[in-house]
Amino acid sequence: MNSRTALVTGASSGIGEATARLLKKQGFSVYAAARRVERMKHLEAEGLHVLSLDIADENSIRTCVKTILARDGRVDILVNNAGYGSYGAVEDVALDEARHQFEVNMFGLARLTQLVLPTMRENRFGKIVNVTSVGGKIYTPFGAWYHATKHALEGWSDALRIEMAPFGVDVIIIEPGGIKTAWGNIAADNLLKTSGSGPYSVAVAKAAGGMATLYNSKRLPHPSVVAATIVKSVRVAKPKTRYHVGYMAGVALAMRKVLSDRMFDRIITSMA
């Protein structure tokens, strides 16, 4: 396993960076990919291969995969981590922004996966790790488009898992809860920008304030806990189909499973 080649997207910070570094420590040949190449110079100094990747651009995706195949001839591990949260009231979010959310969180990921599947299938080995979220199972106000992409990714991953099983390729879903990254503050800022005034302003101010407080608190674990889970999942012969990790992940998923929609609505509304 340690001679395998891994590609990690969204590797310039947070979960992606932590995962790329841990895979490298475990002996993998690691390609760290992100739009902001300048933010990965330290990874390059640590012996990781750094690549430019705009997950919403077809040419960028093709170039990234071609570069790895030309150098190593294979991609054994694909960690689809790149993504962002577009928050705002459904009424306020422009459809162009909604489409971009799907382009980044779903369609770009899907295109990248399509391009690495042939070699995985031919080699009869591969691990595709899709980082979704507990938000792929639950929902929160003002996160409709973000949740839509993560719910879609969950179902897409399940179907892909069945298709690839005969070829020895595993599809693994990682469902993080709250993790100490810049994600929450960025999403909160975007929420205020999109719906901070108008009919939703009071509820938006409360929701954005809650997000900012949580993501600036000490309650959230470091991205390394997710990285450890990802590395564990790709190193075992028969990984689980899903792993959840992070603040409130288990609790949130359990509540969604046992509570009715209306009961869950009330709890989420009281927390937002």
DSSP letters for 146-181: HHHHHHHHHHHHHHHHHHHGGGTEEEEEEEE-B-SS
Cβ pair 25, 12 in contact under 8 A: no
Helices 249-258 and 261-271: crossing angle in degrees, nearest 10, is 140
Cβ–Cβ under 8 Å, residues 5 and 31: yes
User: What's the full length of the chain, in residues?
Assistant: 272
d(CA 268, CA 234): 33
| The one catalytic residue among 139, 146, 215, 243 | 146
Beta bridge partners of 30: 6
Q: Is 243 noted as a catalytic residue in this protein?
A: no
Residues 127, 83: contact at Cβ < 8 Å? Answer: no
First to last CA, the chain: 44
Closest CA to 157 of 176, 132, 180: 132
Query: Active-site residues: which are they?
Result: 146
